[in-house]
Amino acid sequence: MRKYSSALILLFCSFLSHAQNRFPKPDFESGYQYPTFRYPVPDETVWMVADLALLVLLMGIVAWSVIRKRRRAPVVLVSVFSVGYFGFFRTGCVCSIGAIQNVALALVDTSYTMPLVVVLFFILPILFTLMFGRVFCAGVCPLGALQELVNVKHYRLSKPLTLVLGLIPWIYLIFAIGFAVTRTGFIICRFDPFIGIFRLGGDLGMIVFGGLLLITSVFTGRPFCRFLCPYGAILSLFSRVSVWKMRLTPSCINCELCHNACPVDAIRPPYGNKVKESRVQGVKRILTYLIFLPAMAVGGAFLLSMTGDSVSRAHKDMQLYDMAVQNEALPQNVLPLELEVFYGQGGTFEDLSLRSETLRADFGRYAAIAGSLVGLVVGLTLISLSLKRTRATYEIDDAACVNCGKCFNYCPQNRINVKPENKKQ
């Protein structure tokens, strides 16, 4: 009986407190003012400094591990920490991948203010890549680290399929920059496949897509990093010219173990010039491709420029213009909320018409630029396929290598070289 009486008392008290909040506070004529309640707000600056410090520290650990010590264990520990801290604790923000859009918009729009932490998250991984290769991708990036930790098997995809899928990050990068500079949207953040996993909620479609990518990561190495990530495409350019690169053991015996272990197919096997093509013939073929390269750029610009009007419909102002056109043709008693707010702020249909013409012109110009860049990417990929060079031993493709160090554990020569060093220590 006591349980029921206590429950009734609590219910009654909560009802009284709720009822009291329904009525406005009394208006005193004495000039009394209600105090303003202040609640402590966490200092975000402290977290920003911690994020940057950890970013530099973790990239330094990975560089020391793969360049100096040739060991994978520290990379795995960094991956676990990065997934826990940058992924689940910081919920994937600030993100170096998404910072591409902020930087692109800031370069074309001086009125856009970009936080310093976003700039540093974009620049620091590039600087480390110039020095040590893609150490950010190895285990510091939570998206790459999450895929690395779940990878169990490595089923190698065919080379033609890999080459075709490898074009997607560049195309994605081009369109992400175009949508950002036109203020249409930050599509990298909107379609981040792992943000829903890190935040334990969100758009169902993206959570399902992220889950499918993780399942794919179990059987093949890093599908997002290889075939979707636009920031990885940028880092692949700088890793080609990095000062210190990750290398296979100098005493390679061509046992093929490292080639089979690499999760991103970044270790090229020995290759002989089977065609026995002369150097003159090879130079002529490359020159022919270079002549056709501008034609591919022009063709890509022409094709995508015709889609500019359709793509512009993704902009919110174009969507508002379409609503206004429909309302002008068939006047409605109740306007859509967006249109009602626009007219309520003094906007007119003529303003929307002028804005739509400007947007069409901008999107037509940006679509042409994007098309020319896509044509160049496809053309340069075809040229790279035509390059033939004899390799006597296994070699690392610096652009594709993510410095994960998995090949170290499989190389018998590396184990022989590392053991004496550990004994001395």
Amino acid at 375: G
Task: Tell me if 32 is assigned to some domain.
Answer: no
Q: Determine the Cα–Cα distance for residues 10 and 141; give it in Å rounded to an integer.
A: 50
Closest CA to 241 of 127, 384, 374: 127
For residues 167 and 91, the answer to whether their CB atoms sit within 8 Å is: no
What is the model's pLDDT at position 124? 96
Q: Determine the Cα–Cα distance for residues 333 and 330; give it in Å rounded to an integer.
A: 10
Asked whether residue 230 falls in the same domain as residue 322, the answer is no
Asked whether residue 327 falls in the same domain as residue 402, the answer is no
- The total of other beta-carbon atoms located within 10 Å of residue 1's CB is 5
Q: What is the mean pLDDT of residues 340-361?
A: 88
Task: Tell me if 316 is assigned to some domain.
Answer: yes
What does the pLDDT look like over 383-404, one tens digit per residue? 877 776 677 788 888 999 999 9
How many distinct structural domains can be found in the chain? 2
Q: Which two tokens stand for residue 267?
A: 């270790």
Asked whether residue 317 falls in the same domain as residue 227, the answer is no
pLDDT band of 33, cuts 50, 70, 90 = low
Residue scoring higher pLDDT (385 or 240) = 240
What is the model's pLDDT at position 261? 85
Q: What is the pTM of this model?
A: 0.81
- In this predicted structure, the answer to whether residue 423 has a pLDDT above a threshold of 50 is no
Return the SS3 of 161.
helix
pLDDT band of 4, cuts 50, 70, 90 = very low
Q: Determine the Cα–Cα distance for residues 355 and 375; give it in Å rounded to an integer.
A: 30
Task: For residue 323, give the H/E element and its range.
Answer: helix 316-329
Task: Tell me if 177 is assigned to some domain.
Answer: yes
Asked whether residue 262 falls in the same domain as residue 296, the answer is no
Q: Determine the Cα–Cα distance for residues 37 and 22; give it in Å rounded to an integer.
A: 20
What does the pLDDT look like over 300-331, one tens digit per residue? 999 888 888 888 888 998 989 998 888 888 88
- Which range, of 220-234, 287-301, 382-396, averages the lowest pLDDT? 382-396
Q: Which two tokens stand for residue 65?
A: 């591990």
Asked whether residue 153 falls in the same domain as residue 228, the answer is yes
Q: What is the mean pLDDT of residues 261-270?
A: 87
Task: Tell me if 17 is assigned to some domain.
Answer: no
For residues 401 and 259, the answer to whether their CB atoms sit within 8 Å is: no
Asked whether residue 117 falls in the same domain as residue 63, the answer is yes
**Mean pLDDT value across the chain:** 84
Asked whether residue 93 falls in the same domain as residue 242, the answer is yes
Task: Tell me if 352 is assigned to some domain.
Answer: yes
Task: Tell me if 297 is assigned to some domain.
Answer: yes
Asked whether residue 379 falls in the same domain as residue 405, the answer is no
Q: What is the mean pLDDT of residues 207-229?
A: 93
Domain that holds residue 311: 279-386
Q: Determine the Cα–Cα distance for residues 89 and 92; give it in Å rounded to an integer.
A: 8
Task: Tell me if 76 is assigned to some domain.
Answer: yes
Task: Tell me if 381 is assigned to some domain.
Answer: yes
Asked whether residue 296 falls in the same domain as residue 201, the answer is no
Give the residues across from 396 on adjacent strands: 267
Question: 138-150: b or e for each residue (b if 16 or more CB lie within 10 Å)?
Answer: bbbbbbbbbbbee
Asked whether residue 94 falls in the same domain as residue 182, the answer is yes
Q: Determine the Cα–Cα distance for residues 209 and 223; give it in Å rounded to an integer.
A: 12
Task: For residue 346, give the H/E element and its range.
Answer: none
Asked whether residue 176 falls in the same domain as residue 231, the answer is yes
Q: How many residues does the chain have?
A: 425
Asked whether residue 221 falls in the same domain as residue 292, the answer is no
What does the pLDDT look like over 75-99, one tens digit per residue? 999 999 999 999 999 988 878 999 9
